[in-house]
Each structure stands twice: as C-alpha cells, then as structure tokens.
Amino acid sequence: MPAVVDGVRLDGRVAVVTGAAGGIGQAIARRFHALGAHVVMMDQVLAPLELLAAELLELGGAKPVPVICDLTQAEQIRDAAVKIQKDLGGAQILAANAGVLRPASSVADIDIADWDLTMAVNLRAPFLCARYFGEAMIAAGKGAIVITGSVAAHLPNTTAAYGPSKAGVLALARQLAVEWGPYGIRTNTISPGLVRTPLSEHFYADPEASARRLATVPLGRPATADEIAALVAFLASDAASYVNGQDLVADGGMQFSALRYSAPPQFQRGSASQ
Ligand SMILES: NC(=O)c1ccc[n+]([C@@H]2O[C@H](COP(=O)([O-])OP(=O)(O)OC[C@H]3O[C@@H](n4cnc5c(N)ncnc54)[C@H](O)[C@@H]3O)[C@@H](O)[C@H]2O)c1
C-alpha cells in the first residue's frame, strides 16, 4: 500500500508563535488558528497581539492566548513556558520566528550592541524557546519546532550580524534534530528570501532601490507573509512527519540568480529588472 500523507491540519495542538505581532508571525498565527491549533502568540508588544487575538476569536475555534515577553530575557521565556504548561498542558508546536534586522553595517564597523542584540533575538531566543517549550514535548514524546532562518544564512547580507545569526539557527535546528529526534520531536528551519513586512519595509521605500532588489529574484516579486506561513504550517504538521533537521528555502530562486545579469535575454523574461 502506498503511504498516505495526511493533509496539513493542526487540530487541537498547542502552538507557540514568537514574533506574533510582526508580519510573518501574524501570518503564522492566522494560519495555525485556521488549521485548528490553539495558538499562543508571543511578542514584546501587547496591543497588536490583543487585536489579533480578537480577530481570531471572531472566527471561532480555540481562544488565542497573547503573551507579552522580551525574548532577550531567559526568565521571561521560562515563565511563559511554565504558564502554558499550567494553563494548556504545554506546547506541542513551537514556531520560533521573532527576529531583528539592525541597520546596514560591515564587520569592520558594526556597533557591537547591534551584534549582541541580533544574536540574542535571532539565535539565543530560539535556543531558549526550544529549551523551555521543549520540556513539554520531551515529556509527551512528540513535538514540532520550526525556526525562521533566512536566505541570509546562505548569502551574506548588508547587516554583518544577520547572516551569522541565521546560519547559527540552521545549525541549532540540526543539533535539535539529532538530540530530540529520539523523543519524537522534529526540528526544521524555513529560510525566506525577500518578504515585505515591517522588518523589510524600508527597502521598498525608494522605487529604484526596490526594483534593483527585486531584480535578484527570478520570480520578480517578494513573498507574501502567508506564503511563508503556509510552509511553516507544513513543517509543523504531520504532513512533514519524516522531515527533521532540514532547511526549506523559499526565496523565489534568489540563491541561484547570480548569473542572471550576464544571461541571454530569454533568462530575463518576466524579470522585475526589465
Ligand atoms: N521580512 C523579510 O524579508 C525576512 C526575510 C527572511 C527572514 N525573515 C525573518 O522572519 C522573521 C519574522 O520577520 P518579519 O519580517 O515578520 O519581521 P517583523 O519586524 O515584522 O516582526 C518581527 C517581530 O519580532 C518581534 N521581536 C523582536 N525582538 C523581540 C524581542 N526581544 N522579544 C519579543 N519579540 C521581539 C518584534 O516585536 C516583531 O513583532 C524574523 O526572524 C526575520 O529575521 C524576514
């Protein structure tokens, strides 16, 4: 008999989303809720979380839980995990998605505080979230962790700390895949290319700079946050039950576009650079 792969459903699963007030985080929370999950939305700003919780509540389903948390503070993450354990029986899914992109810098001139903040939010926080929310998954013998990486893990970025923080996230996921696979916990990363969100909005303010940026993407456009959320949901679901330690790159082909500038015109058809 051929194996039957279940559709993407998250019915009844307690799913923690960090950075849930941001562009991709909101899309993940909306999609998780639509797929039947009991969503716990964490961010450092409460008002947008409460608005989103009210929006999701209107749609029916499990009551979303907003949690304010500064992810640079280990004890705040630990306290959130203790509360979710007490109130909801612990997390079954973790989407460690919060991130920061500090102003452009090089290795020679980056403000060291920017380096530290980038590492704290983008790399240390996913480690801490995995450690604290993973306790319930280990006890249950089942769980799924999806960490938001970036194509910058593979391609150097205009901000010196960003790529190293995201490359670290990919290594963290592989480490967890091996350490926690035996407990039935899968860990993967999603690496978006260009996504138009508050984090990246400034790149699109100048039309010329925006066109140059989009010209690096064979598909000629940025991803929507929901296109990324759909892949996070896939990796978090039983549809990806044998995927562990992988990085799913969703960049519209950007990684492979280096030759586009010297390629014959037919390769440039449909490009935003035209
Ligand atoms: N937008 C893109 O083009 C793009 C591309 C690749 C990867 N990413 C990654 O996707 C993820 C989501 O990014 P986004 O584009 O939605 O950005 P965003 O700025 O819209 O959202 C990021 C969220 O993280 C939260 N956050 C930051 N520091 C925090 C802290 N200390 N404690 C708690 N919350 C904190 C912010 O409040 C914000 O709501 C990030 O990890 C980012 O690096 C984004």
- Nearest Cα residue to 70 out of 16, 120, 123, 133: 120
Q: Is residue 171, in this structure, part of any structural domain at all?
A: yes
Q: Is residue 144, in this structure, part of any structural domain at all?
A: yes
- We report the CATH number of the domain holding residue 27 as 3.40.50.720
Q: Is residue 216, in this structure, part of any structural domain at all?
A: no
- Cβ of 99 closer than 6 Å to ligand 1, yes or no, is yes
| 242 in catalytic set | no
Domains in the chain, number? 1
> What is the Å distance from ligand 1's center to 2 Cα?
40
Tell me the average pLDDT across 38-56.
Answer: 98
Q: Is residue 208, in this structure, part of any structural domain at all?
A: no
Instruction: State the pairing for strand pair 65-68/247-250.
Output: unpaired
Substitution site in 43, 124, 232 for ligand 1 pocket (most atoms within 8 Å of beta carbon): 43
Tokens 């304010």 locate to: 68
Q: Is residue 71, in this structure, part of any structural domain at all?
A: yes
Q: Is residue 207, in this structure, part of any structural domain at all?
A: no
List, in sequence order, every residue forming a beta bridge with 42; answer none if it has no partner. Answer: 18, 67
On whether the CB atoms of residues 161 and 110 are closer than 8 A, the answer is yes
Domain that holds residue 189: 14-202+224-255
Q: Is residue 198, in this structure, part of any structural domain at all?
A: yes
- pLDDT of 273 > 50? The answer is no
DSSP code of 248? E
pTM for the model stands at: 0.95
> What is the Å distance from ligand 1's center to 93 Cα?
18
Tell me the average pLDDT across 20-27.
Answer: 98
Tell me the average pLDDT across 140-157.
Answer: 96
Each residue's pLDDT tens digit, 210-246: 898 899 999 999 999 999 999 999 999 999 999 999 9
Each residue's pLDDT tens digit, 76-93: 999 999 999 999 999 999
Q: Is residue 123, in this structure, part of any structural domain at all?
A: yes
Each residue's pLDDT tens digit, 151-203: 999 998 889 999 999 999 999 999 999 999 999 999 999 999 999 998 888 88
